[in-house]
Chain A
Amino acid sequence: MEQHEDEVFTDLVASAVHDLKNSLALVLNAAEQITDLGAAPPAAQQALLLLQYEARRANADLMGLLGFFKLERGSALVRPAVVDCEDLLAELVAYNTDLLASRGIRLEATECRVEEGYFDRGLVAGVLNAVINNAYRFARSQVTLSCTLEEGYTVFRVLDDGEGYGPKMLSAAPQDPAEHSHRSTGLGLFFARRVAELHQHRDRIGQVVLSNRPGGCFELWLP
């Protein structure tokens, strides 16, 4: 019987999160609609942009929470499928361009060397969207995306021209979520590492690599 209650609880939480995400989607779309009308006074425009940025962040965190919850409950989180990488980059650019442009930041996909990857498209897109959204705070004028094949891994790279990651971020142990909260990625980065690790093929495991070049460089390596 206990297992049955567990299942009910799982369904309840999953559907509540689903509901919250739908709410956020509507908030985001409403904000975008008002922005598009261009009728709001400049101060209100700023507030709308903040609203969009925060709502996207909340969305990313919810995705992470739901993901951890599912993992905790033992259900499969990562379901890989064949993914058109160029198409994915195009979608990431389309989704984030306007918001970044409002801060004078240009978003570009510079190269895509992988035609078809094999991973969970939804999760990877969610992780990358969160990282790109983050650049809204930290980039100066430019964010570039790329997808390359390195040592047999498909590597997604998000590079900004900001200050780069702080030393604590760069050395943080992957299993410690508290250490990841500096650049307000919080749960996001911790979840990104989990998503990467859950992508396994033969004896190879996916990973997240952070570096400063000199701006922040986020890499997602997928086997």
Chain B
Amino acid sequence: MALNLKDFRFLIVDDLRDMRITLRGMLETLKASQFWEAKNCEEALEVLRTQPIDVVLCDYNLGDTRDGQQLFDEARGRGTLVPHAAWIMITAESSMGMVMGVIENNPDGYLVKPINKAVLQTRLERAVARKMIVKDVELAIRNNKFTDAIALADMQIQRYPNAKSELLRLKTEAMLRNAAYPEVVDLCAGLLAERQHEGAETDIPWMLINLGRARYELGDVRQARLTFQKVLDQNPTVMEAYDWLARIEREQGNGKDAQRIISNALGISARSIRRQQSLGDVAVENEDFATAERAYDKAVQLGDDSVFARPDDQVGLVGAVRVTKGSEAALKTMGELVKRASRKRNSKGPHWRVSAMEASMLADAGRHAEATASVERALEAFRDDTSSNAPQVTLELARACFNTGKGDQGRAMVDQLVRENHDRPEVTGAVQQLFQDLGMAEEGASLIEGAQQQIIKINNEGVLLAKAGRYAEAVACLQKAAEDLPNNLTVTLNALQALLMQMQAEGVTNLARYQAREHLNRALKLAPKSDKVAQMKLRLQNLLAAAPKPATG
């Protein structure tokens, strides 16, 4: 196939200028004419943000804190790559096996140094052709159109049998996202058996990984664990398998095992920010604060300018230092974080959680004026924060408020928190604990009681209305409550329940369908693993499937 490269936009990422020039020279002899160059991640991301690049030629070893894998993840995470963009990773021979194993998300091709023109041409043609075959499937998955993705994959398999393995991988990915778990188990197990029947001695890693994922989702944790373990027995560089095993061990309460597994994975590739984050999280649970400190520190360093950075990393780092080295050292670390944050472009200052933590430490140290300033900074940023936060996190700030004489703000915050979690004893218990620590146990009890009663009253009202067949009123009452308390799972589910009853009795309208989906999505976000939510999802699906399709518009 002769490829006309004239219209292709190339991005060449290499830390060595001569290497960039050489690659560019080779591309020019292949008639390419549009180039962008970057010597590091930062520059590359800037080009990708502003230019619809068709082909990225990226050296794996960028001589930076981040390598080609991090750049690839970051570009994917930011969604700045155009759907047909082909990504080609360049490595040395001696590290290629390593790179191929470590690389997740599969780039579209590899080039092994030394490269000559003929090899570059073959690789380019292949990568571009491959991308053309898979891009629509990938795009459908990216847009959450999973049934479309599955249909497209099937169509392309018919047309391009050579790309079957890759297309099947994407198809099972779409099926997993579409919650078609039993089907994925059948498909992957069938593919694995087929390969074995053909005499292959080893399995294809993605088939085992996706089989394991489906088994995990179906609740078959034991089989899932064995499946992921098998991947690593055959190929210890498949990083995804470590992540899944660690997740399983952590959920099963085997924190020590989870920590060991993540550490092993980081021994192979230490630059993954998300893995450093999980190591920090699990080490905190294991009360291994020295490890947590190291992991969060790395995560913070890798998180500069990354979409994967979390405020939890900074909070975790300071918290771990506080345990291992005391408040003074923690305050110093905090100061460094703030300095670091202010050096960044578009810096919005430290996250409110960092300021809240700073405030409590300063208050502990008796530095009240500084503590108050920190709380004010935190409150200001907290108001602008629309993301949902774990209740413990909000409690941290409330505690800082109380500690610095801002009891009113603290009370308002806790009141909202209780109303959003009125039936979660772990939250109301933590609130009660806070008031007890402050020597205000009685006030705490009455605040919790009052907030709970208020929600229960609205809830009961709505439920009674619904039972009486007054669906519209029930929906109105509960929807109002759900809007006021977007993070209250029970209220959200009751609003959904009322809508379901209304649709059952009075037929499906576009509005009700839309509202029901909204509530369901919120519930899924609040409690992704809840059986109750899963049941509601099924009920809604059945109801919508049975209902005649309403006229659109």
Contacts and interface: CB of A to CB of B under 8 A. Distances in A.
Given A116-B165, A152-B201, A202-B201, A24 B100 contact: no
Nearest to A55: B114
Chain A: number of interface residues, binned into ranges:
35 or more
B94 A29 contact: no
Contact of B118 (A56, A97, A125): A97
Contact of A22 (B19, B95, B204): B19
A170 to B, nearest CB: 27
B446 to A, nearest CB: 59
Contacts of B110: 121
Contact of A95 (B19, B61, B118, B235): B118
A125 B110 CA distance: 12
Contacts of A70: 94
Contacts of B219: none
A120 B96 contact: yes
A122 B235 contact: no
Given A81-B97, A121-B100, A123-B96, A94 B121 contact: yes
Contacts of B91: 122
Contacts of B200: 116, 118
Q: Which 3 A-B residue pairings sit nearest by Cβ, starting from the closest?
A: A122-B96, A79-B97, A120-B97
Interface string B66-82: 00000000000000000
Interface string A65-98: 0110010000011111110000100110011011
B235 A25 contact: no
Contacts of A82: 204-205
B263 to A, nearest CB: 16
A18 interface: yes
Contacts of A56: 114
Contact of A29 (B25, B99, B100, B205): B25
Contact of B126 (A87, A126, A202): A87
B1 to A, nearest CB: 12
B119 A118 contact: no
A32 interface: yes
Interface in A201-223: 201-202, 223
Interface of B: 16, 18-19, 22, 25-26, 29, 61, 91-101, 110, 112-119, 121-123, 126, 165, 199-202, 204-205, 235-237
B204 A121 contact: no
A140 interface: no
A67 B93 CA distance: 10
30 contacts: A18-B61, A21-B114, A24-B114, A25-B113, A25-B114, A26-B22, A28-B114, A28-B116, A56-B114, A63-B93, A76-B236, A79-B97, A79-B235, A79-B236, A80-B97, A80-B202, A91-B123, A116-B200, A116-B204, A118-B200, A121-B100, A121-B110, A122-B91, A122-B96, A122-B97, A123-B94, A123-B97, A125-B112, A126-B112, A152-B199
Contacts of A2: none
Interface string A146-174: 00010010000000000000000000000
Most-contacted residue by chain B among A21, A22, A98, A149 (CB, 10 A):
A22
Given A18-B92, A90-B122, A120-B96, 6 more contacts: A21-B92, A63-B93, A67-B94, A79-B100, A79-B237, A81-B97
Nearest to A83: B100
A159 B29 CA distance: 32
B29 A78 contact: no
Contact of B93 (A28, A87, A126): A126
Interface of A: 18, 21-22, 24-26, 28-30, 32-33, 36, 56, 59, 63, 66-67, 70, 76-82, 87, 90-91, 94-95, 97-98, 116, 118, 120-123, 125-126, 149, 152, 201-202, 223
Contacts of A32: 116-117
Contacts of A36: 29, 117
Contacts of B16: 22
A132 B110 CA distance: 21
B165 to A, nearest CB: 7
A201 B200 CA distance: 11
A22 B16 CA distance: 9
Contacts of B97: 78-81, 120-123
A189 B47 CA distance: 44
A123 B100 CA distance: 12
A21 B100 contact: no
Contacts of B22: 25-26, 29-30
A63 B96 CA distance: 12
Nearest to A78: B97
Given A79-B237, A81-B237, A91-B123, A22 B96 contact: no
A80 B100 CA distance: 9
B114 A118 contact: no
Contacts of B25: 29, 33
B238 to A, nearest CB: 9
A81 B235 contact: yes
Contact of B19 (A18, A26, A121, A201): A26
